[in-house]
Amino acid sequence: MMIVVMKAGATTKEISAVIAKIKKLGYEAHLSSGQERTIIGIVGDGSVRQYREQFELMDGVERTMPVSHPYKLASREFHPDNTLVALNDHQVGDTRIVVIAGPCSVESRAQILETAHAVKEAGATALRGGAFKPRTSPYAFQGLGEEGLKYLAEAREETGLPVVTEVMDPESVPLVCDYADVLQIGARNMQNYSLLHAVGKAQHTVLLKRGMSNTIEELLMSAEYILSHGNTRLMLCERGIRTFERYTRNTFDLNAIPVLKERTHLPVIADPSHATGYWQYVAPAARAAIAAGADGIIVEVHPRPEEAVSDGMQSLTPERFAKMVQELRRVAEAVDRTL
Ligand code: PEP
Ligand code: MN
């Protein structure tokens, strides 16, 4: 890929001429209209570099630049400003932090409604809950499926909280889109390329979780699949990686937050619940995530964690969640953010 950086005052006509030339040469053009200037990405193989001078001679073009990393559309070079992802009255990636909270699994109508009201009361800005659960064992609870999606939609009606829920396979994408505001791609599916293509084509908002054994670059390459369909309604999520450490479920890769914020324009969300695995470490990890520059957090909350069918050990009670939100407000303020 190569990018064509247009001059600050480039006209629509000059921009259109560049796009037309790119198409005529047989490449794909991706437009990034920033606050200051327009950047046009030329996606194709390395052969595009032979036309560098031709593009530089065109009216309105300031310069061209080859993009050296394997991810292109996800890179800050292509899109210097933060991409803002609309979520209700939020623009994720802006200064205001989002707090997505709810149970690991939707267990019953009563459980999700009770949790939705409790997290809303405590300051959550979106509701999470899995209806399709990717479980290690085929004998463990697999989720309520469409019934669970219906309960989530009812919880949204009652509370106004947008819904984040996982989609596990390409075939279920249309169904989950009917009920969810945000499609979650779970860690185990980060490199399920047919699923990534499907959610890219769906043009629906996506929360892409980092795989437990995947590098930051691999996460960005998976984001690239979704972006390649022109779907920029995409948020990334650091949820902990596997290491030799046994006292926590995963190891929270705090480094990933500033690294991602530097390399990509996409919003970055932290999941301190899966990253630590124990409720008592969730608030400290969440505070660190906000301090490190995360645009939001996603946390598991259950009214009675001891009765949870999945991830009870890492679930906060509504009271503990409310206390954590108060703490996060102060951390947000310290780093010039709001919550
Ligand atoms: C979840 O959010 O409940 C979940 C299964 O997360 P992950 O895909 O990160 O393990
Ligand atoms: Mn979970």
Is the C-beta atom of 120 inside 6 A of ligand 1?
no
Is the C-beta atom of 143 inside 6 A of ligand 1?
no
Instruction: Report the length, in residues, of the chain.
Output: 339
Q: Which pLDDT value is given to residue 80?
A: 94
Is the C-beta atom of 134 inside 6 A of ligand 1?
yes
Q: Which pLDDT value is given to residue 32?
A: 93
Per-residue confidence band for 44, with pLDDT thresholds at 50, 70 and 90? confident
How far is Cα 327 from Cα 287, in angstroms, rounded to an integer?
7
* 3-state SS, residue 183: strand
Is the C-beta atom of 274 inside 6 A of ligand 1?
yes
How far is Cα 328 from Cα 282, in angstroms, rounded to an integer?
12
How deeply is 16 buried, as exposed, middle or buried, from its count of CB atoms within 10 A (0-12, 13-18, 19+)? exposed
User: What is the arithmetic mean of pLDDT over 78-92?
Assistant: 96
User: What is the arithmetic mean of pLDDT over 270-290?
Assistant: 98
Per-chain mean pLDDT for the chain: 97
State which of 100, 144, 152, 184 you would mutate to test the pocket of ligand 1, scoring each by most atoms of that ligand within 8 A of its C-beta.
Answer: 184
Is residue 43 within a helix (H) or strand (E), and if so which, with residue range?
strand 38-43
Tokens encoding 102? 């709810």
Residue 68 pLDDT > 90: no
Cα dihedral: 309, 109, 114, 123 (round 10): 90
- Over pLDDT 90: what percentage of the chain? 96
Is the C-beta atom of 261 inside 6 A of ligand 1?
no
Is the C-beta atom of 277 inside 6 A of ligand 1?
no
* Phi, psi angle pair for 82, to nearest 5°: -65, 140
Which ligand 1 atom is the nearest neighbour of the CA of 239?
9
> Which residues are 98's β-sheet partners?
296
For the entire predicted model, the pTM comes to 0.97
Tokens encoding 259? 């690294």
- The per-residue pLDDT for range 260-279, each reduced to its tens digit, is 999 999 999 999 999 999 99
User: What is the arithmetic mean of pLDDT over 195-208?
Assistant: 98
How deeply is 5 buried, as exposed, middle or buried, from its count of CB atoms within 10 A (0-12, 13-18, 19+)? buried
Q: Are 70 and 313 in contact (CB under 8 A)?
A: no
CATH architecture of the domain covering 85-334: Alpha-Beta Barrel (3.20)
Which ligand 1 atom is the nearest neighbour of the CA of 186?
8
* C-alpha dihedral sign at 207, 210, 211, 217: positive
Separation of 50 CA from ligand 1 center, angstroms? 45
Q: Are 1 and 42 in contact (CB under 8 A)?
A: yes
Which ligand 1 atom is the nearest neighbour of the CA of 240?
9
Q: Are 315 and 103 in contact (CB under 8 A)?
A: yes
Q: Are 269 and 295 in contact (CB under 8 A)?
A: yes
Q: Tokens 């193989």 belong to which residue?
A: 45
Per-residue confidence band for 298, with pLDDT thresholds at 50, 70 and 90? very high
Tokens encoding 269? 């969300």
* CATH number for region 2-66: 3.30.70.1140
Tokens encoding 24? 């005529």
Residue boundaries of the structural domains of the chain: 2-66, 85-334
* C-alpha dihedral sign at 43, 49, 55, 56: positive
Is the C-beta atom of 104 inside 6 A of ligand 1?
yes
Residue 208 pLDDT > 90: yes
Q: Which pLDDT value is given to residue 63?
A: 96
